[in-house]
Chains A and B, each alone.
Chain A
Amino acid sequence: MEQLIQKLKEEIIEALNLSEMKPADIDEKAPLFVDGLGLDSIDALELTVLLEKKYGLKINTAEEGKKILHSVNSMAEFITANKKS
């Protein structure tokens, strides 16, 4: 899980062009949107594409998306639970 979280942080930095940030700057428990990293709706789309491209996982509803994209931890949990072996 630790490895996956670190990898996800690196992928998020690359996908969202957060070039001023390092993986250590992202708190895996903190919300990604509004209060935490301050991401917005376009970032949500980018993260949805990232999950599908890199892990082959789809988010089916907006409600589901809110829970999955809440934090790096919630994304990692979703990947671990659903990743095809």
Chain B
Amino acid sequence: MKAYIQSIGAISPQNTFTGEGFLQEVMAYHHADYLKCIEPAYIDFMDPMASRRMSRIVKMGVCAALKCLRDAGIDNPGAIVTGTGLGCIADTEKFLGSLYANEEKLLNPTPFIQSTHNTVAAAIALMLKCKNYNNTFVHRGFSFEDALLDGLMLLQEHSASNVLVGGLDELTDHSYTITSRLGLWKKQSLDNLRLLDYKDDGSLPGEGVAFFLLSESKSEKSLAKINAVSTFYKPDSHAEAERKIQDFVSTHLGDIANVDFVITGMNGDRVADEVYHHLGRTLFSRLPCGYYKHLCGEYDTSSSFALYLASMILKTQQVPVVLKCDDKPVGKMKNILIYNHLRSVNHGIFLVSTC
């Protein structure tokens, strides 16, 4: 299963949407409890009348999708597939809050209608009047990976010649409070660019949206090629995770030495990062490695941000220093391996190459 990435629309805590160049200006957040997206001027993409009911995540999702399609020169994609861990959580909170406050009476319809996980995919289809395949995957840390696999299969089966695939998640005050109680985040505020310096438990929460226009054929606009995507669930040990990654690389690329750069999902959590340290001593010991969650934070579909980074590295042939976590020299970029996991449960691997 292979596909060419023709364009990307990414909204993140970095200047990925409107900023010039690729990570030319890195956003540093000091004393941060979480990282929030830099929102674009929605009016440039949507009529305010059309967007008036949309919550923040819906606006960001639709905006990123429209930019992605605009850049690819596509009016109507053959399919729209999204992946999200928590969906439109702000509208869900609004609806539940109103349910409680009004004693289950007189509920406003809009937050209820917009609270479903597939709202973004549906809103894109409505705006484009696109009646093609439309699907949303809500598989926690596999949400984006499964959306991408679905998109790749649609291309492989020739059910569509191009597919719009996106990963999206938002962070709200409520979800931050609840997940803090679960001990998922660092107890102290921190500087995002020093995320790996804090050697204790927990990570830095974040959010983001990234849409990719995939096609089965290469064009002048193509940024990168997705060679393979795979997932595995709760490995028994770091050695088992290593075997799974080794098998993936052997099947799709042959020798691990053919990997030019590894993007890992290191998130600063002492326990979660152990597997990356293990791989750094074993399978990845000779490879230059990087990480990305200091730029976007941790969220269920953060691997979509990693895929954005890999595509941009391959297109520009530059690895921004801020991404590197070792001093190994990087040369010409041909193959990038992304390995990420969410809370040691959902593990995803991507192999992305030059076109």
The chain A residue sitting closest to B113, CB to CB, is A42
How far, in whole Å, are A19 and B113 apart by their CA atoms in the complex?
A: 20
Contact with B along A34-58 (1 / 0, CB 8 A): 0000100010011001001100000
Q: How many A-B contacts are there with CB distance less than 8 Å?
A: 26
Assess whether A81 is interfacial by the CB under 8 Å rule.
Answer: no
Write the nearest CB–CB distance from B126 to chain A, whole angstroms. 12
Q: B48–A19 contact, CB under 8 A? A: yes
Closest to B51 in A: A17
Given known contacts A49-B108, A52-B106, A17 and B52 CB-to-CB distance under 8 angstroms: yes
B19 surroundings in chain A (CB, below 8 A)? none
Question: Is A18 engaged at the interface, CB distance under 8 Å to the other chain?
Answer: yes
Are B110 and A38 in contact, CB atoms less than 8 angstroms apart?
Answer: no
Write out the residue numbers on chain A whose beta carbons fall within 8 Å of the beta carbon of B49.
18, 20, 38
User: How far in angstroms is the closest Cβ of chain B from A12?
Assistant: 12
Please determine whether B109 and A45 come into contact, CB atoms closer than 8 angstroms.
yes
Shortest C-beta distance, A48 to chain B (Å), equals 9
Whether B52 contacts A19 by the Cβ 8 Å rule is: yes
Q: B79-118 interface mask toward A, CB cutoff 8 Å, 1 = contact, 0 = none?
A: 0000000000000000000000000001111100100000
Docked CA distance A46–B98 (Å) = 14
Q: Is B129 an interface residue (CB 8 A)?
A: no
In the bound complex, residues from chain A placing their C-beta under 8 Å from that of B106 are 49, 52-53
- Taking Cβ atoms with an 8 Å cutoff, the residues of B that contact A are 48-49, 52-53, 106-110, 113
- What residues make up the interface of A, taking CB atoms closer than 8 Å to B? 15-20, 38, 42, 45-46, 49, 52-53
